[in-house]
Chains A and B, each alone.
Chain A
Amino acid sequence: MSPRFQMRQAWTIATIEMRRAFFSKRAFWVYLLALFPSVIFIGHGIDSKIRLDRYKSRGVVAPAALDSIRAGMTDQEVIAKLGAASEDDSHTSRKRERTGDDEDGKRKWEEKVTHHRRLAYFDGSRRANFWFEEGILRDSQVGELLNFEEDRSVFAAVFQYFYLRLAIFFGCLGIFMNLFRGEMLDKTLHFWFLAPARREVLLLGKYLAGLVASSVIFTAGALLCFAAMLWPHSPSEVAAYWQGSGMGHTFRYALAAMLGCVGYGSVFLAAGLLLRNPIIPAVVLLTWEGINGFLPDVLQKLSVLYYLQSLCPVPAPTDPGMPALLKLILSPAAPASPWVAVLGLLAVTALVLWAAAQAVKRLEINYSTE
């Protein structure tokens, strides 16, 4: 049998399996995982546009005037400079404070009444909130309603923390484990083994089906999410981004998503053949990938995530709420070059698939133990 003939056999198996991988009821949650971030970004876009229209309708102040406001100014001075606020609300707080003890040793309390006021302004792109206590400016918060750089950084975090570590991980766990272990649970694997094709060809066909399904679903999900992130921003900003690094970034995100499916898919396909309980490899891999950043450089390179993160164009921000001790021991290894990342992942995948092929050749079906 020529390799070409075996490839044709594998593709025939893949087309049959693909229907199951794409359209079965069991695949519904995979779509949910892949598309949910897009829903969140679309929601953010709609919310930003509604707020932008609302703030504009309430009046816009000059950016220079907004920048001239300093802590310690009175509310009247701010109103004199910026005019009437688009939002103006106030409240009074009462707090009991211990002032000391009297001669009898009894505690003395005093009620402290504070008048709070908040003024809000908009300069066309930035929203400013000023908080006053007893008429004096104590705190302020000025931020852009839509910040392109910030949104790109948020997308990088969503892609690396949600897509790569969770969505693609659990999605591949479901899709690729189902290819062999699911058939065993359904007691239908023997039908495949009766087909006149070598077991390695069957493995390749099933892997191809899972790979096409997961790559299409997750790459499309990531690209849709990227488009949803760009949508609310001004056309000029987006056009400048496309003319610059935009296309390259999109390609690298799509490549990382696809290679994530290639890497995790092979691991879970092999795990489905070698182990009866998928929770064990899932827990081990999840833990290994989770502590990746804290491991020595050499060990970091023994994970799928290291190569995928090397392909991402924007580094993901670290969690600001991370304890100081963890920040201290966090030492991400220098990213691999794109070629090394791609070739490294493909090499690992080939090795894992070879191990899976050895396992499938020796596989004997005993449905009663499932």
Chain B
Amino acid sequence: MAVYKRGYQRYQGPVTGHAMRLLAMPRYAWERLMQQRLMIVMLALSCIWPLLCAVFIYISNHTELWSGLGGGVSKMLEINGQFFLIFMNTQATFSVMLAAMAGPGLIAPDLANNALPLYFSRPLTRFDYVLARLTTLVGMLSLVTWVPGLALFFMQVGMAQSGWFGKNWDLGLGILAGFLMWILIVSLVALASSAYVKWKLIAGALILGFFFILAGVAAMINGVFRVDWGSLINPSKAMYSVWCWLMGVETPRGMDVSSCVGVLVGLVFLLGMVLERKLRPVEVIS
């Protein structure tokens, strides 16, 4: 083979900082996602429940609005761990739907169009690539999870009597920690699905199917074998148990928190393995 004169010289100058390099991908991805009308509609829909919760907090803290309705109402309108747990549950559902819309477009097109070698020819490792994609989803899902959650918490702190924060500061911490764990799981499922099937369409269905079908399988095992441990294979239920523990609410029957944490850690490890296996810049065609 002829060897021609090499006119190309590798760039040897200073490179952008690592954090900035990582943020380049999410920056473009967020821009692209925000251009999708459907994503905006979904984000707007996700804000309805936090707004309703804000109204609930307002009513709860204005006793003059319901003082004539009897003593049982005050118990019903109490802002406690159970209230935030219901809020978290609803927003978690929206976060799965958002991930099913935003997630498939993050890795699948890169794999389908053989774009990975282009990424990895730059000063980016595979870990950086996954982290950048994860950051995209974390940023997107944060908008509907812990951000409104903490906004509601601080709204309650501002409106409640002075001692409320002292007694319930751990709820705020629970909202943040609980949602961050959930976002990690949902994002990893979305990325792994996107990497596994290459097709955006199927990846979206796989993300939805993962959560809904595993929930169905868990309920089926519990029903057929008359046990409670089947719920452990349902990541949503396992996470719910961890949230209950964080928010000081009684955990569901048969759901030991340490087992749930173990299952979730195992799931993260498994999804990490899928990403490690699928995200390779070369493909061996047999």
Contacts and interface: CB of A to CB of B under 8 A. Distances in A.
Interface stretch (B15-23, B157-165, B167-175, B200-208): B200-208
Interface stretch (A60-68, A69-77, A161-169): A161-169
A82 interface: no
B100 A283 contact: yes
A297 interface: no
Interface in A1-43: 33, 36-37, 40-41, 43
B10 to A, nearest CB: 35
Contacts, number: 70
B48 interface: no
Chain B at the A interface: mostly helix, strand, loop or mixed?
helix
Given A279-B205, A283-B208, A170 B213 contact: yes
Interface stretch (A86-94, A173-181, A205-213): A173-181
A313 to B, nearest CB: 18
A277 B205 contact: no
A139 to B, nearest CB: 15
B145 to A, nearest CB: 18
Contacts of A293: none
Contacts of A282: 204-205, 208
A279 B42 CA distance: 12
A162 B219 CA distance: 9
Contact of A278 (B38, B205, B224): B205
Contacts of A165: 216
A174 B220 contact: no
A167 B221 CA distance: 15
Contacts of B123: none
B205 A36 contact: no
Contact of A170 (B38, B97, B209): B209
B199 A185 contact: yes
B212 interface: yes
B117 interface: no
A41 B213 contact: no
Contacts of B216: 161-162, 165-167
Contact of B204 (A157, A185, A277): A277
A321 B205 CA distance: 28
B252 interface: yes
Contacts of B204: 277-279, 282
> Which A-B residue pairs are the 5 nearest by beta carbons?
A279-B204, A166-B216, A162-B216, A44-B224, A154-B223
Interface of B: 38, 97, 100-101, 104, 199, 201-202, 204-205, 208-209, 212-213, 216-217, 219-221, 223-225, 252-253
Given A166-B213, A321-B253, 14 more contacts: A33-B213, A37-B220, A40-B224, A40-B225, A162-B217, A170-B212, A170-B213, A174-B205, A181-B201, A185-B199, A279-B201, A282-B205, A283-B100, A321-B252
